[in-house]
Amino acid sequence: MDGLTHLLACIQDISGGTYSNDIMELTSEKYDPFIREVAESVGMMMVRIEAREFALEQANEDLKCNILATVRAIARGLSLRDPYTRGHGERVGSYCERLAKRMGLPEDEVWTVKVAGTLHDIGKIGFSDRLIQNVDTKVDSEMLAEIRQHPEWGFCMLRGLEFLGPALDFVRSHHERLDGTGYPNGLKGDEIVIGARILSVADVFDAITTNRSYQDAVKLEKSFSILRKLAGPSLDPDLVEKFIMEINESGLEDVENNFSTCPMQRCPISEQP
C-alpha cells in the first residue's frame, strides 16, 4: 500500500470512529513530507476527538495514556525536520521530573511538569521550512517573530486536552523571563508559574549541553556558569542551584526508556515510531 492510499484508509477509519494509531506510522521519515504533514494534522484531530470522549468518560485511564502517546509521537515528528531537536523533549521532560522531585512536589505535580517538558516545543511543528533549514543565514526579524510564536502555537495545539491541566500554561510560558523580557506575554517574577520556571531551567540547560546548528555543546562546569549568570534576570536562582545540585549528584540525562510509563496512572504508554 503506497503512502497516499494508506493515508486515505486511515482517515476513513478515523471518520468512522476507529481511532487507530496506524496514522502515526505515516509521520515517519520513509514517507513524503506532504504525507507526513497531513498525517500529523490528522493525528492531532484524532487526539482532540479522543480528548472530548475522555472528558465524558473521565475514568478511562488507558485512553488518557494513549492520547499522550499519540501527541508525543507527533512531537517527535519535529526531529525529522530538525535533527538538532532529536531527544530534546524527552531529556527536558526528565530534567523537569528530577528537579520537581528534588523540590519535594507531589507526585501529580511532578507528572504534570514532566509532561509539559516533554511536549514544550510541539509548537515548532508550525515553523516554516525557511526557519527549520536555516543554518548559515543570520536570523532576521521575520524568523525571530516566528520563533517567538512557538509557545503560543504549542498551547493552542494542546488546549483541547483539558486533562493536561497546568501543563498547558507551562508550555505556553517556558520562554517567559523573570525580568519581563521573555515571550509570548512578557510575564515577570511571580506572574510566571513555578512549573514554567522549572521548565525554563531544564530547557536552557539541555540547549547548551547538546550540539546545535548554531553552537557546540558546552562542558558541564561552563553550563553551570551560564545558568548562574542567567539566574535572577531570566531564571529562578533557587531552582538553578537545586538543578545544579541534582546534576552534580545524578549526572546528565539518559533518555533511554524515558517516559515508558504514565506515572500518575500507572499504566503503560506504548512507544510510537
The radius of gyration computed from the CA coordinates of the chain, to the nearest angstrom, equals 19
- pLDDT for residue 6: 79
Together in a domain, 4 and 60: yes
Query: Of 84, 106, 139, which marks where a domain is finished?
Result: 84
Together in a domain, 21 and 156: no
Together in a domain, 57 and 69: yes
Q: Please name the residues in contact with 130: beta carbons below 8 A apart, sequence gap of 6 or more.
A: 143
CA distances (Å), 55 to each of 51, 119, 176, 271, in order?
6, 21, 30, 24
Cα dihedral across residues 161, 73, 260, 203: positive or negative: negative
Cα angle 196-98-106, degrees, rounded to a multiple of 5: 75
- Partnered with residue 267 across adjacent β-strands are 262
CB 132 within 8 A of CB 82: yes
Query: Of 53, 69, 84, which marks where a domain is finished?
Result: 84
Query: Of 30, 51, 84, which marks where a domain is finished?
Result: 84
- pLDDT for residue 3: 76
- pLDDT for residue 23: 78
- pLDDT for residue 19: 63
Together in a domain, 76 and 143: no
Together in a domain, 29 and 104: no
Length of the chain: 273
CB 160 within 8 A of CB 52: yes
| Matching residue, cell 519581563 | 180
This model's pTM is above 0.85: no
Domain around 199? 88-254
pLDDT digits (tens), the chain, 273 positions = 577 787 778 777 776 666 667 777 788 778 888 788 788 777 777 776 666 665 545 546 666 676 777 777 766 666 566 666 678 888 999 999 999 999 999 999 999 999 999 999 988 877 776 666 665 557 778 888 888 999 999 998 888 787 788 999 999 999 999 999 999 999 999 999 999 999 999 999 999 998 776 677 899 999 999 999 999 999 999 999 999 999 999 999 765 444 444 443 333 333 332
> Which candidate, 173, 62, 86, 77, places its Cα nearest to that of 125?
77
- pLDDT for residue 124: 84
